[in-house]
A and B are shown apart, each in its own frame.
Chain A
Amino acid sequence: MASRVQEFFVRRLLWAVPVLVLVSVIIFGLVRMVPGDPAVVMLGADADPARLEAVRQELGLDKSLPVQYFDYAASVVQGDLGRSYITNQQVSEAVASRLPTTLFVTAAGFTVSLLVAIPAGTLSAVKRGTAWDSAGLTFGLLGVSIPNFWLGIVLLLLFGVNLDWLPVAGYVSPLENPIEGLRYLILPGITLGTAMAAIVTRMLRSELLEELHEEYLDAVRMKGVSEPRVLVHAMKNAFIPVVTVIGMQFGYLLGGSIIIEVVFSIPGMGRLLIGAISSRDYITLQGLVLVYTTFFVLVNLLVDTTYFYLNPKLRGDG
Chain B
Amino acid sequence: MTDGTPGSDPATEAAAPVTTDDGAATDGGETVVSGSSAEGEGSTRESPAVRRTKAFAARVRRNRLASGGLVIMSAFVFVAVFAPILAPYDPAVVDVPNRLQAPSADHLMGTDRYGRDVFSRVLLGARIAAQVAVATPLVAMSIGVPIGLVAGYVGGRTDDGLMRLMDAIFAFPTILLGLTLVAVFGQSLTNIVLALGIVFIPQFARITRGSAVSVAQEEHVRAARSLGASNARILLLHVLPFCISAILVQATITGALAIILESSLSFLGVGVPPPQPSWGSMLRVGKGYINSGEWWYSVFPGLAIVASVLGFNLLGDGLRDVLDPRSDPNR
Contacts and interface: CB of A to CB of B under 8 A. Distances in A.
A154 B7 CA distance: 25
A289 B180 contact: yes
A293 to B, nearest CB: 5
Interface string B47-84: 00000000000000000000000000000000000000
Interface residues of B, number: 59
Contact of A300 (B20, B290, B295, B331): B20
A9 to B, nearest CB: 12
A293 B171 contact: yes
Interface stretch (B10-18, B99-107, B140-148, B207-215): B10-18
A304 B13 CA distance: 11
Interface string B149-184: 000000000000000110111011111100111011
Contact of B313 (A145, A203, A247): A145
A255 interface: yes
B268 A274 contact: yes
Interface string B1-34: 1111011001101000111100000000000000
A256 B3 CA distance: 10
Interface in A114-173: 137, 140-142, 144-150, 153-154, 156-157, 160
Interface in A160-188: 160
Which interface residue of B11, B164, B280, B305 has the most chain A CB atoms within 10 A?
B11
A19 B167 contact: yes
Interface in A234-262: 241, 244-245, 247-249, 251-252, 254-256, 258-259, 262
Interface of B: 1-4, 6-7, 10-11, 13, 17-20, 164-165, 167-169, 171-176, 179-181, 183-184, 256, 260, 263-264, 267-270, 280, 283, 286-287, 290-291, 295, 298-299, 302, 305-306, 309-310, 313-314, 317, 327-331
8 tightest CB-CB pairs across the interface, nearest first? A202-B7, A255-B173, A206-B329, A241-B10, A22-B168, A150-B302, A255-B175, A145-B309
Interface of A: 12, 15, 18-20, 22-23, 26-27, 30-31, 33-34, 137, 140-142, 144-150, 153-154, 156-157, 160, 195-196, 198-203, 205-207, 209-210, 241, 244-245, 247-249, 251-252, 254-256, 258-259, 262-263, 273-274, 277-278, 285, 289, 292-293, 296-297, 300, 304, 307-308, 314
Given A198-B6, A244-B11, A255-B1, 17 more contacts: A19-B167, A20-B171, A23-B172, A30-B180, A149-B267, A153-B287, A156-B287, A160-B291, A205-B329, A245-B4, A248-B4, A254-B173, A256-B1, A277-B179, A292-B173, A293-B172, A304-B18
11 contacts: A144-B2, A144-B6, A200-B7, A244-B11, A248-B3, A251-B20, A252-B2, A252-B3, A252-B173, A304-B19, A307-B18
